[in-house]
Amino acid sequence: MIHCKPRVRFAPSPTGYLHVGGLRTALYNYLFAKRNEGTFVLRIEDTDRNRFVEGAVESLIETLDWAGLKPDEGPAAGGSYGPYVQSQRLNIYNKHSQKLIEDHKAYYCFCSSERLEILRKEQQQAGASQMKYDKHCLSLSADQIHNKLQAGENCVIRLNVQSGEKVIVEDLIRGRVEFDPETIDDQVLIKSDGYPTYHLANVVDDHLMEITHVIRGEEWLPSTPKHVLLYQYFGWEIPKFAHLPLLLNSDRSKLSKRQGDVAVEDYIAKGYFKEALINFVALLGWSAGDNQEFYYLDELIDKFSLERVQKSGAVFNIEKLNWLNFEHLQRKDSNELVSLLRTEISKSKYMNKSFSDDYLSRVINAMKERVNFVHEFLANGFYFFEAPIEFEEKAREKNWKADTPVYLGKLKIEFASLENPVKEDYETALGKVAEEFEIGKGKLIHPLRLVVSGVSGGPGVYDILEILGKNEVIKRIETALQKLS
């Protein structure tokens, strides 16, 4: 536990979907806040108007809501807290940029894109790895600036990076990172459209929102020296930084769409549980050090600490996510699974059929250990929802012999004589028929499984029989005898 009550934020730019790395950042911020009785703030960083995507903010909030990561404060929205939205705070950033100009820590720049392009080429030819603005406009007089502004010339406001000592970032995960001020560009703070860049808006808001810990992805580390300078130039206290390790594909390249889904929305659509996804992303760069891998959110809150976040990249292993989904499914209570299964049924071709809760929960019990997802109850256990129309060819070749119709005919008669049979009754009846014909039980079990389910795998055959019920079993035997004989 840390002593002061921390204030943290998740500050996504709305791109149209929530990246799994974004979910991890949100989760670590959330866990850190909850673990330390702090405050979790959601801030939408939407000042890049070129990247504006209709509906992106709404979908982001919806996805975070689905994950259960709700902010602890913010503008009221429908009975809970909404996010702070940067595009609604433009005057705040403008006011702050003016303050920097007054203090000579920022200046107007009127350079045309043509001039900047020439500059870039010159620097490139001279072997520079990245372009640095040459402070050309810093020499403009107050009158010149005034006249240009009056004339409505296109302009931006730039940070006036002073040469001097190294810029130090003390990162809670990466340790001390040093940056040479000579490598830091006079970053644009306010763009020609009047909107702030990420850097200015981010620092101003982190200060005004009293953020104590900036927990974000490693890709933002190169921006951090600019932020540190901004804090210094404003005369503000610098928050603590924690840059989270990169997410990697299994070949250790940076996690990319080309090798799999990166949008949380895609995982939701595929039927992953929020508990499993949360559990999974929690382990992308953090472990409690006790070999435990299965966690609920509460336990994560209990155990989480930034000290145990690793520096090296975290490999995104889809098999592990599938395994966690399986594990979470196994532990869900029967009522919840029944209701989840009903939702799947309502979206399937079985939507007009009716099944009792008792029937569904028996199907769930029989199938549970064989599925990773709720929709697999339908896909793998379709025979509980409709009689098989086709029969697996390989199993048929292997198990359907010349004598099989005679055996099954007898089995049908034997089953018909049973009263309210449970699985043991079916088993006894089958044993009796096998004895009569002096054959191994397998000669009956395999074709029986094929006729009632259409496939060769699945739960125990007597479980299937008990769930389907005597009448349905007999009907299926009759149909198969006609179709397969």
Which are the catalytic amino acids? 257
Of 8-16, 183-191, 408-416, 474-482: span binding ligand GLU (CB under 6 A): 8-16
Size of site (CB under 6 A) for ligand GLU: 8
Residue 306 interacting with ligand GLU (CB under 6 A): no
Burial of 304 (0-12, 13-18, 19+ CB in 10 A): buried
Please state, as a whole number, how many other Cβ atoms lie within 10 Å of the Cβ of residue 126.
7
Rounded to an integer, what distance in angstroms lies between the CA atom of residue 93 and that of residue 189?
Answer: 9
Residue holding tokens 């659509």? 269
Residue 87 interacting with ligand GLU (CB under 6 A): no
- What ranges in 218-317 are assigned the alpha helix state H? 224-234, 264-269, 274-282, 297-303
Rounded to an integer, what distance in angstroms lies between the CA atom of residue 358 and that of residue 264?
Answer: 33
User: Which residues in 345-404 contact ligand GLU (CB under 6 A)?
Assistant: none
Residue 13 interacting with ligand GLU (CB under 6 A): yes
Residue 39 interacting with ligand GLU (CB under 6 A): no
Q: Show the tokens assigned to 218.
A: 């490693």
- What ranges in 347-380 are assigned the alpha helix state H? 357-367, 375-380
Letter for the amino acid at 354?
Answer: S
For the CB of residue 214, give the shortest distance to ligand GLU in the complex, in Å: 6
Residue 86 interacting with ligand GLU (CB under 6 A): no
CB-wise, 23 or 360, nearer to ligand GLU? 23
3: Cβ contacts below 8 Å, ≥ 6 apart = none
For the CB of residue 20, give the shortest distance to ligand GLU in the complex, in Å: 13
Helix axes 470-484, 461-468, angle to 10 degrees: 110
Of 9-17, 180-188, 257-265, 414-422: span binding ligand GLU (CB under 6 A): 9-17
CB-wise, 12 or 459, nearer to ligand GLU? 12
Residue 29 interacting with ligand GLU (CB under 6 A): no
Positions of E strands within 45-92: 76-77, 80-81, 84-85
Residue 12 interacting with ligand GLU (CB under 6 A): yes
Residue 305 interacting with ligand GLU (CB under 6 A): no
For the CB of residue 255, give the shortest distance to ligand GLU in the complex, in Å: 15
Letter for the amino acid at 426?
Answer: Y
Positions of E strands within 27-166: 39-44, 76-77, 80-81, 84-85, 106-109, 156-159
Residue 225 interacting with ligand GLU (CB under 6 A): no
For the CB of residue 15, give the shortest distance to ligand GLU in the complex, in Å: 8
For the CB of residue 86, give the shortest distance to ligand GLU in the complex, in Å: 9
- Using CB under 6 A, pick the residue from 8, 11, 57, 161 that binds ligand GLU: 11
Residue 220 interacting with ligand GLU (CB under 6 A): yes
Q: Show the tokens assigned to 453.
A: 């389910």
CA triple 475-388-468, angle to 5 deg: 50
For the CB of residue 226, give the shortest distance to ligand GLU in the complex, in Å: 11
CA triple 114-118-119, angle to 5 deg: 115
Contact between residue 423 and residue 463 where contact means Cβ atoms under 8 Å apart = yes
Please state, as a whole number, how many other Cβ atoms lie within 10 Å of the Cβ of residue 21.
25
CB-wise, 90 or 481, nearer to ligand GLU? 90
- Using CB under 6 A, pick the residue from 18, 35, 45, 218 that binds ligand GLU: 45
Per-residue binding letters, 198-217, with ligand GLU (x by CB under 6 A): x---x-------------x-
For the CB of residue 28, give the shortest distance to ligand GLU in the complex, in Å: 11
Q: Which residues bind ligand GLU (CB under 6 A)?
A: 11-13, 45, 198, 202, 216, 220
